[in-house]
Homo-oligomer: A and B are copies of this chain.
Amino acid sequence: MKYISKLLLSSFLAVIAYPAFAAWEALPDKAPAPEDNPTTAEKVELGKMLFMDPRFSSTGTVSCNSCHNIMEGGDDSRSFSMGVHGKMGGRNAPTVWNSAFHSVQFWDGRADLLEDQAKGPVTNPVEMGVTEIEMAMNKVRAISGYKPYFEKAFGKNSMTVENAAKAVAAFERTLITPNSAYDRYVKGDKTAMTIQQIRGMNTFAKIGCTSCHSGAAFNGPKMPFGQGFYAKFPTFVDSKYIKQYNLLKDKGRESATGKPGDAHMFRVQTLRNITDTAPYFHNGSVNDLSEAVRLMAKTQLNQDLKDKDVADIVAFLAALTGEYPEIKMPRLPSTPGQSVLVEK
């Protein structure tokens, strides 16, 4: 009897905290910002306006929010994003939620900062489709109602591309989702996660997911801006998944650096709110989270997971979905009596 109690107790403890990986971290309340762009309320407000405003795209139909919908999971529910004229990009839109916790931006890490990232899609021909970024900025300048917002955020004569990007980045740094069941659990509320979720958390660590998906955002150790944390995906190429989901087509970071050594290297993605960001992976090829877990175990860790382990890990991943803050819709200024879209 005593022995049975002990056994129960020890297995209970094993469920509570698997010793192989102790550094579980809660999401910070604030995201780090670069020294030259401290986050202020004025920048955040302006950034929110610019983020939501489709009028700067070549057609006037595509905003940052079109592909990174903050009313939902910060993405677009599509495999590949769709920009102006129905054109399709080549990679899945990563969520903007908690993107401030990435030390580099884009799947291939080609931008060091959100400030740099924000400028990319504007002139991408399959995204916002503007020929030169100054043309988009001229549309912003043509909307007189934006001027006071720039002045409040950056001072006089501040309607520049650099400041627009800074404002958008400042806004994005507020898009964080604390207080998930997982966060409450690691802060001490041992009832915040279910037994299955705790079991999934331990399996997640035990099989080695945490060798990449560590840290508060589950995207690797904290790094200085510009220094990315990458992993080769896929690492093991002898499974059915490779062909089924076309996983060797995209060369990953090699496309950004031109270095063969960067082939198939991808920035390690955050797992936060992953229940809200299907479909999965850089090519959005997997629609189902269970399948994504199975695939990752096989291609990254060369393991065939049992259905029970998959279900446990999926349950744990659901515990990473946090609280989305309430956001007031911005009021986008008009140009009294003129459309900014008409080319003159």
Contact = CB atoms under 8 A, between A and B. Distances in A.
Given A70-B329, A73-B334, A329-B71, A82 B61 contact: yes
A66 interface: yes
Given A66-B61, A327-B329, A329-B70, A78 B341 contact: yes
22 contacts: A53-B71, A54-B69, A60-B76, A60-B78, A69-B332, A70-B329, A71-B329, A71-B331, A72-B331, A79-B342, A86-B86, A276-B334, A276-B336, A277-B334, A278-B339, A287-B338, A289-B338, A318-B337, A324-B331, A327-B328, A328-B329, A329-B329
B66 A82 contact: no
| Interface residue tally on A, bucketed by range | 35 or more
A287 B342 contact: yes
Contacts of A336: 275-276, 289, 318
A255 interface: no
Given A72-B334, A278-B338, A329-B329, 19 more contacts: A54-B66, A59-B78, A61-B82, A70-B329, A71-B331, A72-B331, A73-B334, A85-B85, A85-B86, A86-B86, A274-B337, A279-B339, A289-B337, A289-B338, A314-B337, A318-B336, A324-B331, A326-B328, A328-B329
How many protomers of this protein does the assembly include?
2
A55 B278 CA distance: 13
A44 interface: no
A329 to B, nearest CB: 5
Interface in A37-93: 52-55, 59-61, 66, 69-73, 76-79, 82, 84-87
B72 A335 contact: no
A139 B216 CA distance: 34
A60 B324 CA distance: 22
Contacts of A327: 328-329
Interface of A: 52-55, 59-61, 66, 69-73, 76-79, 82, 84-87, 274-279, 287-290, 314, 318, 324, 326-332, 334-342
A54 to B, nearest CB: 7
Contacts of A55: 72, 77
A275 B337 contact: yes
Nearest to A314: B337
Given A71-B329, A328-B329, A329-B328, A288 B338 contact: yes
A270 to B, nearest CB: 16
A275 B333 CA distance: 11
Contacts of A84: 86
Contacts of A69: 54, 332
Nearest to A287: B342
